[in-house]
Amino acid sequence: MPAGRVLVDTSLSEAGNALTDEMLRKCMQNRELSWLQFNERVLEEADKPENPLFERFFFLSIFTSNLDEFYMIRVGGLCDHELNKTGVTDNKTGMGASEQLALIYEATVRLYAKRDAVCKKLEAELAEEGIGRLAVQGAAASITKKHQRLLDAYFDSQIQPLLAPQIIDQSHPFPHLENNRQIIALYLEAKGGKAVFGIIPVPNGAERMFFLSEDLYILLEDIILLYCEKVFKRYKVVEKAVICVTRNADIVADEERFDEDEDFIEHMSKILKKRRRLSPVRLEARDGNCPKIVSYLQKKLSLAPAQTFYCTSPLVMSHLMTFRDKMAPYIRPKAAPLLQKKEHVYPPFEPAAAQYAVLNGEMMRRVRFGDVLLYHPYDSIQPFFSLIREAAEDRHVISIQITLYRIAEQSKLVEHLILAAENGKEVYVFIELRARMDEENNIVWAKRMEEAGCHVFFGPQGFKLHAKICLITRHEGQKNEYITHIGTGNYNEKTARLYTDVSIITANEQVGRDAAHFFNNMKIGAHDDGGAYELFWVAPDGFKTELIRHIERESAYADRGRITIKCNSLTDRDVIIALVKASMAGTKIDLIVRGICCLTARMPGLTDNIRVRSIVGRFLEHARVYRFGSGEDCSIYIGSGDMMTRNTERRVELFTPVLDQGARKRVSAMLDVMLADNVKAREMDGDGRYAHVKAGVATEQEVVAVDQEVAAAEQEVAVAQARDTEQEGDAAGQEGDVAVRDDDAAPELWAAGAVAARLWSAGAATATAEAALICDAPQTGYVPPVSAMLDSQQYFITEASENSVIENNKTYTKRYSADSFIRRLLSLFRVNRKA
């Protein structure tokens, strides 16, 4: 039992056992409304002037695509419940489908207004930099004769040949309007005054942006809107608008009729075709002066007025994903100073090479000396790919087994797996064809791997296979050797550069046995077999049970209990109840939940001891980490699942304990950094709303104390580096150029992390983007010794904020950014390490 932690009398938890539904309702939120709050936090990032301008456009695009998928899946499912009168209610709030939909529609109207305001502001800022968007409707329309000539020529040669206009009358039935495709809708008047409805689908193959000059562009839909009278020249245009229809895409493959003689890939292909024609759930109209069009479409699509949303900003914002790249070809550098300003985009980021993880470029040999922990995107995913490539060519490797959920369109990993199969290895690939919105891509890869000789399996019937695990089996001499990789994110090269995820590569025999057992279960269609795993938590049978057991164990320590969980969402009612009871027992709980959180923190008498924070920034916070206890005796698990009912009950998820001492320290340090973030973090209040964590202030005495802490840490680093050099020399003589084990190799990481943790807990000034202290250097002229740990002065904040305090003519500001601090810690971790 950890020192200082004593099990309390169970009677202290009697209040928790007496929880009533009324008490629980006070500290629970609706899942859908909580998600909308999360997406609003994404939109707020687009409105932050401290974020680079082009990155703010990117956040605006993410908000829009998020909302599109929310309506296709979540609102689509609720509409089905409402239509079928299933009587299904939210088990947190008791609301039925109709009540939830009414609140969703109400919140959406507010979000559209906020998005329009943010878009208008961003375009105004872009115009100040010399790049504008041409408006074709309203008071902002300003088309010159020169613009008109350019547009006439462009429309006639490039756009009109691609158009497929259509009128709707007795001879032309109402067409299928594609999901999320922009359409120019027109209310027309024929000769004699007869009303006719017309449409022009915006072509998918045309360039979305057309530059009229080096400082002015127009969107494709606006060009068509401008020339629709020319397209329907036989009619008078009464109303015209850009519209978009969103359709229900909430199809569950296992609920569809499946012929046992039918190939599952063929079955999924049919499902995808059906999805494209499902019922509408939302109508969007750009610019509100089109009542006849909206009324007509509402009737034809069976949509209520509450399901119609008006806006002034573009309906589809996918062009903003690569906004800067799209503009660059049309703009000469001298005429486009904006594109030359680094502050308008994030600084280039390349994942670290993780040299400490590689031994002479041989990952299989390196893992024998200790576990390798990778934290993406700060660490590159390349060491794992190198491992698979080595295994494909190692004559002692018998098999490679792996689960795949979302695969990159251009996948090196799959290429390595195919190479392994061609080299005679047994390659077992368990691919999930029902990965939402990635089904088609997964089908393509499944066919290719089958053709190459891989053994391709699909997830067990009734459950999505969401686990992230790979097992390499070697046989050399008389012994089998296992190398296992387990992570929190997908085996996807693209998302590994955009999402924060943790993964571990280990040669631990117990982990390997559990991995082999897991894959054997998958081959026979069994997701679990009654808890036979030595170490793993496996959903749907074991994850929730073990998670609640660990929560209850910490609850038994009362106010000495500690729980820290980082995940994407929290919706599972049973888990929420366990956390509330632990809070009532006095256990301190920190939840870092990026997205949905159905638990309300800081409720008097219920969740007083629970702190909920969300971090939204440059990278998508995606890692799932569960820590119980504190210090060296804590237990840490990483894995694929969130605390959502779909993960705990309807998916195959997998978690492993982090056993290596060094890896456990690193994961703990990362969690502590996130709990200290006061730049990107928001915390939930007792009403379920989120507010930015405010930066604190530091006195001059605290700054001096920080200097002393840092000086001591730097001395510890110097001593450790000298020690490591000697150890590496000794090891090299015995085993070649051997890398030092993780738990012995990074004292500077723990020194820096410990400084940061102590500073935060003491309320002293902590470091900005990358280290342990920050102050307003230009005003004070004060540069602390910790600057030696930084690459340059650029990491210091250069202007005072409202949270600064002026004392003795010096300005001190406490700010702390988790993502960049972790990046620096990992860089420090590789100081003077041999490749």
Structure tokens at 156: 């006639």
Neighbouring CB atoms inside 10 A of 718's CB total 11
Q: Are 540 and 527 in contact (CB under 8 A)?
A: yes
The three-state secondary structure class of 719 is helix
List, in sequence order, every residue forming a beta bridge with 199; answer none if it has no partner. 166, 185
β strands within 714-828, DSSP E: 805-807, 810-812
What distance in Å separates the CA atoms of residue 153 and residue 814, rounded to the nearest whole number?
A: 57
Q: Which residue has the tokens 């930066």?
A: 695
Phi-psi domain of 680 (left: phi exceeds 0; alpha: psi -120 through 50; beta: other): alpha
The three-state secondary structure class of 724 is helix
Q: Are 438 and 444 in contact (CB under 8 A)?
A: no
What distance in Å separates the CA atoms of residue 614 and residue 591, rounded to the nearest whole number?
A: 8
What distance in Å separates the CA atoms of residue 795 and residue 772, rounded to the nearest whole number?
A: 11
Q: Are 825 and 375 in contact (CB under 8 A)?
A: no
CA 502 to chain centre: 13
CB-based burial label for 571 (10 Å; 0-12, 13-18, 19+): buried
Q: Are 325 and 119 in contact (CB under 8 A)?
A: no
3-class DSSP string for 516-549: HHHHHHHHCCCCCCCCCCCCCEECCCCHHHHHHH
Q: Are 408 and 499 in contact (CB under 8 A)?
A: no
What distance in Å separates the CA atoms of residue 726 and residue 711, rounded to the nearest whole number?
A: 23
Is-catalytic flag, 466?
A: yes
Range 326-360 burial, b when 16+ CB lie within 10 A, else e = bbeebbeeeebebbeeeebeeeeeebbebebbbbe
Write down the catalytic residue from 466, 485, 527, 550: 466
Neighbouring CB atoms inside 10 A of 89's CB total 14
What distance in Å separates the CA atoms of residue 771 and residue 804, rounded to the nearest whole number?
A: 19
Neighbouring CB atoms inside 10 A of 178's CB total 15
Give start and end residues of each alpha helix (H) in 401-508: 412-422, 439-451
First-to-last alpha carbon distance for the chain, in angstroms, is: 40
Neighbouring CB atoms inside 10 A of 260's CB total 4
Residues involved in catalysis:
466
